[in-house]
Chain A
Amino acid sequence: MPLLEIKNLKLDFIAGDRNLRAVDDVSITINAGETVCLVGESGCGKSVTALSIARLVPRPPANYVGGEILLNGRDVLKMTKSELQAIRGGMVSYIFQDPSASLNPVFRVGSQIKESLKLHRPEKATDAEVIRLLKLVGIPAPESRIKDYPHQMSGGMQQRVMIAMALASEPKLLVADEPTTALDVTIQAQILDLLLDLKKRLGMSILLITHNLGIVGDMADRVAVMYAGQVVELAPALELLRRPLHPYTKALMNSVPKLSGNMQRLQAIPGNVPSLGNFPSGCRFYPRCPSAQPECAKTMPQLVEVEPKRWVRCLYAKPL
């Protein structure tokens, strides 16, 4: 049984008398010890999907319209308040893009980590355990840092503290929502290295959200590409990077310049990412798709397994 199985998830945001579908028929599984990357441009539904795993999207405005989220076989969408409390920050921990927004500015970092321990492993709510966690996430001289306030730390250090807090409950699944987007490249490299190392040592699963395809190759076992609320391609990471099958994945990879790549003109994707409530009918990518056919305007493609382990949402995706 997979650790997490999101099946045909559908979520609307209620705006006045309109129901805007933000997540539409999303299916993703994550096995124990596996890292899955969720990639896509801003607004495509990555965060809403990820937050749904612990049902953290506020309802209203959100409304779950269909599907299930099986965590160890139990549907999160059917859980009671107290069951949800237990998994939040317990079996599932989150880290976000902006650590300074998640840390409380008026409490010392050591006591914030201790709070997290009290909640989930009260017998371990000690200075020694806090120091062990800070050491685990690579904070130098942790004994002297537990008394620091968040603002006394750099962005990279704050992100390490967030990771330490997330690890306090010994989660089975770490959801990292663009954890390095706000950081400089050299600090991003440190944090990615840390996540790889932790995964190896602790054997947890990671759902890593990013808009940077470059990160996928370094981090992911499998990858799901989202566009306009839907998963359009799901595949083992290296296979997807070597041979993308969906026209959107291909176009995205061709449109970004590569380091030491050739200097030819970039192949831009025409038009803009459609906003919520303005998704085209039929295939959502068809107004921008270089391979579009007349049929694409009428029929919405389903996510189908076109080759073993390779799922694609395109009417014209052919098996090898």
Chain B
Amino acid sequence: MLLNIFNCSPRGERSNTRALARPFVEGFMAGGGEAREYPAADPAVFDAAVEAFGTPSVAMIAFPLYADAMPAAAKAFIEEIWRLRGSCESTRMLFLVHSGFPEETHTRVMKDYLERLAARMGSPCDGVIRVGGGEAARHANSRKPGRTYMRLWELGRLYAERVVLDAAILAKLAGPRRLPWPARLLAPMIVNRLVWDRELRRNGAFDRRRDRPLEAGERP
């Protein structure tokens, strides 16, 4: 079985999307599948990616949440494959959507959208993998795989064997509906101070962090 991964993150090679798709692919290959990756947000690859989508395969469209939906590059890819609707019965569709925020509520609408998209395309849909809080995935150490990595790997392996996404693993990956109270108190401290403020300081931009450069301006 051939799995084509269409990575629609504007960050391409350095994206969290790629880091999250990788363990799934590795598991899939361990289960006997074959995989190819297309950085579909790259204009140089875009046409080849659309063409690959139309060939008999499993097509995994993967992207991060941008403004509560797919990034513009992912929408552009979807608009292009939309032209192929009705002629892709031999393309099984699969999706990977992840959010910076940890709660699964952020990715719910995209799940409904993507399932509906596949149905309207006339392609079988094997499901939507949702990952909450994927912001640090690309910094994870692949030699010491964490829980998310292991879950995605196992999901990929089982998918290669059964052509079904394991519901229990999917639920765990999607994230909690709400963070528990202690985490809600700790998360802003950790993320705001230890991640963003530290980075702002490193860039010499800490004093300007609340700047309002567009405050007084004319209309376009």
Do A and B belong to a common assembly? no
